[in-house]
Amino acid sequence: MSIARVGGYVVSIVLLCAASARAQSPVVFQKLLGDWSVSIASGTGPDESTLQFTATGPQAQQRQVWLDRRTRTIKDVILWNNATFVVLDEGGTADHVGIVPVPSAGEPDLFLAYDPTLSPDSRVIAFRKFAPRGGEQELVLLAYDVSLGPVANRMAAWDPLGEAIEVGWAFYPDEYRMGHTYEISPESRPAYALASGLTWIDSRRLAFLAYSTGTTKAVLVNFSSGISAPIIQEFALDSSMIVNSSRLPTDVDPASIISARSLSGTVAPNGSVELVIQFEPSPLGAIKMATMTVTF
């Protein structure tokens, strides 16, 4: 068998017999995805890889790659549109997300992420940028479109041998989105914090709460024009309506304690979105509203 290195993967040029591979290596993950059968087996591969991905589909189609050496604990495998496999791996400090196109000519990809969440149709992955150990924990929210290749999912040149950190298109905060950058110098860096999880309203709309400089905002992101051109809408929450500041120490910003236990939303026929926020109760009893509805 001859092999070729693509990014963090080693791709089989001559495909092996799946039954033979399984007989030689213990299978650590199996799943049926429509007409496709996926198995991941442990073994010793090139470049310190220890897991081999095999997918067998209709008309004896087969896709086989050695996964990136950092892939260790498989959480799930998802198939988008019978065209791309998404391999979710639970790492020690962050999740590893592997992308394996069904066509053998497609280039596999890998990136590190905090809290990756897939759109309902599994096409777009939203996540927080990974920060290496000892690096600055700045908040940068990114999106990856599995229908595109590695190059189109970068705001900068793709380095197949890179550290898989500068991946995806920034959509929040604005400074990263408008600057098409993964990093801003500390003296110019905006101070943001997430006040909720990332919640998909439908396959193109994502919602969350974010806090910065005395204000917590509800944010709606629309990816209908693609991950490189998201439409951002924000609604500043009135902390005086939500927080009983008399219960807080004087040095605590009332907006800073606002967070969401859950978000849910509906899209009206005219395209407007009603976002229902269920607030997280405060240990000090300072949150005086259970829910709020915001219309975008």
Q: How far is CA 248 from the centre of its chain?
A: 35
User: Any idea what DSSP says for residue 280?
Assistant: P
Report which of 218, 291, 290 is spatially closest to residue 255, judged by C-alpha positions.
218
Cβ pair 280, 261 in contact under 8 A: yes
What's residue 24's pLDDT?
60
User: Any idea what DSSP says for residue 243?
Assistant: B
Instruction: For residue 148, give both structure tokens.
Output: 């595109």
pLDDT, tens digit, 9 for 90 and up, residues 254-285: 999 999 999 999 999 999 999 999 999 988 89
Please name every residue paired with 57 in a beta bridge, in sequence order, or none if there are none.
none
What's residue 20's pLDDT?
47
Instruction: For residue 265, give both structure tokens.
Output: 């939303």
What's residue 147's pLDDT?
96
Sign of the C-alpha dihedral computed for residues 121, 225, 198 and 130 taken in this order: positive
Whether the link from the prior residue into 108 is cis, omega within 30° of 0, is no
Which residues have CB under 8 Å from 160's CB, separation 6+? 5, 6, 7, 8, 150
Instruction: For residue 286, give both structure tokens.
Output: 């300072």
Cβ pair 22, 16 in contact under 8 A: no
Instruction: For residue 7, give both structure tokens.
Output: 């990014």
Report which of 75, 88, 79, 76 is spatially closest to residue 36, judged by C-alpha positions.
79
Rg (Cα) of the chain, in Å, rounded?
Answer: 22
Report which of 230, 57, 83 is spatially closest to residue 149, judged by C-alpha positions.
83
| 72 CB neighbour count, 10 Å cutoff | 16
What's residue 34's pLDDT?
92
Residue keyed to tokens 């405060």? 282
Instruction: For residue 110, give both structure tokens.
Output: 């890998």
Instruction: For residue 195, give both structure tokens.
Output: 């006040």
For the whole model, what pTM was predicted? 0.87
Cβ pair 96, 116 in contact under 8 A: no
What's residue 43's pLDDT?
93
What's residue 105's pLDDT?
80
Kindly list the domain boundaries of the chain, sorted by start residue. Answer: 1-185, 191-296
What's residue 213's pLDDT?
87
Q: How far apart are CA 113 and CA 141, in angstroms?
A: 10
In this prediction, the residues of the chain whose per-residue pLDDT falls under 50 are 1-4, 6, 12-22
Position 282, amino acid: S
pLDDT, tens digit, 9 for 90 and up, residues 187-241: 777 789 999 999 999 999 999 999 998 999 999 999 999 999 999 999 999 999 9
